Structure 1
Amino acid sequence: MQTKENLMTDTPSSVEKPTDPAIESGLERLTPERIQQVIQQVLKKETGPRFKAYVETCMRCGLCAEACSYFLSNDRDPQFMPAAKVKNTIWEMLKQNGNVSKDFLRRAVRISHLECNVCKRCAMYCPFGIDIAYMMLLVRRICHKLEITPQYIQDTVNSHSVTLNQMWVKDDEWIDTLQWQEEDARDEFDDLQIPLDKMGADIMYSVIAPEPKFQAGLIYQTATMMHAAGMNWTMPSTPGWDNSNMAMYTGDNEISGRIARAFFETASKLRVKRVVMGECGHAFRSVYDMGNRWNSWVMPPFEVVHALAFYHELLTQGRITIKEKYKKKVTLHDPCNVSRGRGLHDKAREVVNMVCEDFVEMTPNREHNYCCGAGGGVINCGPPYKGERMVNNRVKAEQLAATGAEVLIAPCHNCHSGLEDIVQYYDLKMEIKFLGDLIYETMEKKIYEPGA
């Protein structure tokens, strides 16, 4: 297995660049007229003052460079500077009035989908606050309309379109999984239920499709927490239960909006007071910050709460008590869309300290933490790109290794998966857990009694 030490001299050029059949077949169908028409349509008709201000304000100062994990992981190669990514995509499209080559587009796909996590860390370091992630999402929008999106993530969007979940989970499979987890959880609580379609419940609990597909035990754990805490909750039995939204990251705004509308309509139909979402960053962002706007709402029509904030609520209100703190040394990864995007990093630390005995910080941390290297749809582009993704994650591996922690807490699904790849590839000898894993492991298995 390759380790951090013998990877230090690797460069992107030493990793084989895969050929993506979806990109190549899409490029073959394109004509110069079609390319120019799509680029002009997106940049002139789908943007506005925000885009104009970003393009005209950037001074090419390069202060964004040090913020980018790709730049740092590749020995400060200038091509990975955020400003360079914009220069080599959007600016060139504008300069050429959309008259760009297929080779240019092949490179633009790679830059926007595989060399940027749209994590927005660079925007924090730009003196003008230019959101380069927004610019890269515009490039992805152009790639989508030209039908040159990487195959694996496009397949995920196709699943969203057909089934309203990203894993092709059938309706009966979803219900069967919930019933299976309910039955198993009764080993701990005889009267536990996962209520389906309970009208007027205080909470609708929502997950992403990988949970019923691969990680059903997470639903089990949450069901025991809800039951122990005495919550009035429900889960939907119909499509709209999956809160993930990969179309948000491919530029397929139409499908993205349809996914969000189905989710909101499902919660509205059940007349719930709030939606509690599982440990996923992009899904949380897609509901509280993106999907609502595609459906013409300033904010969602009900309160949307991320699992981190919900855990904090349960613990501080005494609805769940910790029997014995977790003993191993832990560190905490800050998911971009939860920490930098929503400011939940302090609550996350309060929860970790309530649950764990030995917590050590990463450096940097909180909103300044490095991205997991898997977010923004990057890991969803699939196995063909894993090798170069590992090279591009070197700075994250170094950050993890420096903590000396035995356990890495990753309260986000994409982060969890991406960090697993990094830990294995760099042989870091760390166990990765969701925060819910630790709460379930350390909590008192008893029913909450107010005033007790």
Structure 2
Amino acid sequence: MIFDRKIADAGLERGVSRLTPQRIEETLRQVLEGETGAKLKVYAETCMRCGLCSEACHYYMSHDKDPSYSPAGKVHMTLGEILRKDCKVSPEFVYQMAQIAYTECNLCRRCVHYCPIGIDTGYIMSTVRRMCHKLGVIPQYLQDTANSHSVTMNQMWLKDDEWMDTLQWQEDEARDEMPDLRIPLDKEGAEIYYSVIAPEPKFRTQLIYQAAYIMNTAGVDFTMPTEPGWDNSDMCMYSGDFEMMGRLKKRHFESALDLKVKKIVMGECGHAFRSVYDQGNRWDGWDMYPIEVVHSVEFFWDLINSGKIKIREKFKEPITIHDPCNIIRGRGLMEQSRKLAHALCENVVEMHPNLEHNYCCTAGGGVINCGPPFKNVRMKGNRVKAEQLKATGVKTILAPCHNCHGGLEDIVHYYELGMDIKFFGDLIYELMEKPEVE
């Protein structure tokens, strides 16, 4: 396979310019010998190159079945080459493998469901990203986001006072509609610690407003933190900076534990949820997380199912459901998402394929955070998603994940689909019975 699609990126170019053959070999060997084990060895030795994973990949399907975009092809061109050459590879090869691992694989793990022996290509690509991080070869935009995490403990460079001001601003806004509404800050012993990703206070403040309104109406005992740790997102997990990932998740859990809350409820985000329940917690040495963690899909369904939130009327227009990788394939919340969707909507039109076999939004895995140089890679790499969306014949998509919103919005615009995208919180706020204001 010949790699003939190199894209210029300042971070990759700068990183590669600093490499020497000795540093490359020592770093790759250290990751292979010090950070991997039997799992990677089994995957490397048992892949049969059968090709059954190929049609699972949206990049492969969207590039007219070019084998270099297949999961097995991408492994062959990255880790496979490292193993064949016993870690003696060139700086130019490192650039190639970084571009493949960061921008041509969403770590969506759809391919795992098609592999007859269960090889996890997402794990392999994460390992390749880890190698790239330790070599200092990371796309510029993604590294900038990781830098924000390391400096401010949030991905949007928000200062502490800006975060608190946003919460108080949304409380004031919501009190025009519900005079008694409160967003309790740093309340010890609350039942729920509600956490969000930093793009909410930066770009989607209405989601904080809506969540506060829903929880106040339902009588939920909740709090939101003001100290660093409030941002549950984690681009370091995707850049390969696992040390920083561990710091982020440790601070998030400590923030909740300091407030002595019963559980963490996370806003509608997929990667942040995976980071908390499956990645960062393990890097920190916890077999499981030290405090119960619930995704908002589960939380919202419980509020409606228990009658704490009543729906005034259902959404009448046909609507389809996108399945975020990290809460569906990664966590298995298919049943809750469908129950919630049908409780809110009269006409739910399923995509095909759907549930754990649904195609990725092509934004996840940190790919959207690699920035403008690779936007066309994302768009051309998910033609199959655009075709899947168009085939539903609907004009509204329900997607309970921030990165999915970003990716789907780009696809809808690029392929001129004319579709709107909503969170569950958008629909619940719009359709719920609201208390009368005296």
TM-score class, shorter-chain normalisation, is over 0.9
Matched, 1:141 2:141: no
* Helix, strand or coil at the partner of 2:318: strand
Q: Which moved more, 1:226-235 or 1:98-107?
A: 98-107
Partners of 1:188 and 1:445 within 8 A in 2: no
Q: How does 1:418-433 map to 2 (within 5 A)?
A: 418-433=407-422
**Structure 1 ranges of 4+ moved more than 4 A:** none
* Helix, strand or coil at the partner of 1:329: coil
User: Partner letter of residue 347 of structure 1?
Assistant: Q
* Helix, strand or coil at the partner of 1:18: coil
Q: How does 1:388-427 map to 2 (within 5 A)?
A: 388-427=377-416
Q: How does 1:346-365 map to 2 (within 5 A)?
A: 346-365=335-354
Q: Deviations over 1:128-152 (max 9, x none)?
A: 1011110001110111011110000
Please give the alpha-carbon distance, in whole angstroms, between the structure 2 residues aligned to 1:141 and 1:401: 36
After TM superposition, give the deviation of residue 17 of structure 1 in Å. Answer: 5.2
Q: How does 1:77-226 map to 2 (within 5 A)?
A: 77-226=66-215
Match in the other structure for 1:374: 363
* Helix, strand or coil at the partner of 1:359: coil
* Helix, strand or coil at the partner of 2:41: helix
* Helix, strand or coil at the partner of 1:205: strand
Please give the alpha-carbon distance, in whole angstroms, between the structure 2 residues aligned to 1:420 and 1:406: 13
Match in the other structure for 1:70: 59
Equivalent of 2:236, from 221, 233, 247?
247
Partners of 2:6 and 2:96 within 8 A in 1: no
After TM superposition, give the deviation of residue 301 of structure 1 in Å. Answer: 1.2
Please give the alpha-carbon distance, in whole angstroms, between the structure 1 residues aligned to 2:277 and 2:131: 25
Partners of 1:308 and 1:348 within 8 A in 2: yes
After TM superposition, give the deviation of residue 302 of structure 1 in Å. Answer: 1.2
* Helix, strand or coil at the partner of 1:432: strand
Please give the alpha-carbon distance, in whole angstroms, between the structure 2 residues aligned to 1:235 and 1:407: 31
Q: Deviations over 1:45-78 (max 9, x none)?
A: 1111111111111111111111111110000001
* Helix, strand or coil at the partner of 1:326: coil
Matched, 1:56 2:48: no
Pair 1:219–1:316, CA change in 2 (3 A): same
Match in the other structure for 2:30: 41
Match in the other structure for 2:16: 27
Q: TM-score, normalised by structure 1?
A: 0.95
Q: How does 1:253-264 map to 2 (within 5 A)?
A: 253-264=242-253
Partners of 2:351 and 2:392 within 8 A in 1: yes
Match in the other structure for 1:318: 307
Aligned length: 434
* Helix, strand or coil at the partner of 2:317: strand
Please give the alpha-carbon distance, in whole angstroms, between the structure 1 residues aligned to 2:158 and 2:187: 22
Q: Deviations over 1:180-222 (max 9, x none)?
A: 0000001221111000000000000000000001111100000
Please give the alpha-carbon distance, in whole angstroms, between the structure 1 residues aligned to 2:130 and 2:355: 30
* Helix, strand or coil at the partner of 1:328: coil
Q: Deviations over 1:76-108 (max 9, x none)?
A: 001011011111111110111111012211110
After TM superposition, give the deviation of residue 18 of structure 1 in Å. Answer: 3.5
Please give the alpha-carbon distance, in whole angstroms, between the structure 1 residues aligned to 2:306 and 2:50: 48
Match in the other structure for 1:437: 426
Matched, 1:340 2:329: yes
Please give the alpha-carbon distance, in whole angstroms, between the structure 1 residues aligned to 2:292 and 2:63: 41
* Helix, strand or coil at the partner of 1:408: strand
What is the RMSD of the two structures over their aligned residues, measured on CA atoms? 1.1
Please give the alpha-carbon distance, in whole angstroms, between the structure 2 residues aligned to 1:418 and 1:290: 23
* Helix, strand or coil at the partner of 2:8: coil
Please give the alpha-carbon distance, in whole angstroms, between the structure 1 residues aligned to 2:284 and 2:72: 31
User: Taking every aligned residue pair, what percent have the same amino acid on both sides?
Assistant: 60
User: Partner letter of residue 99 of structure 1?
Assistant: K
User: Partner letter of residue 185 of structure 2?
Assistant: L
Match in the other structure for 1:3: none
Please give the alpha-carbon distance, in whole angstroms, between the structure 2 residues aligned to 1:126 and 1:357: 36
Partners of 1:112 and 1:140 within 8 A in 2: yes
Q: Deviations over 1:229-253 (max 9, x none)?
A: 0000000011000000000011111
Equivalent of 1:278, from 238, 253, 267?
267
* Helix, strand or coil at the partner of 2:294: strand
Match in the other structure for 1:229: 218
Q: Which runs of 5+ in 2 are unaligned?
A: none
Partners of 2:104 and 2:377 within 8 A in 1: no
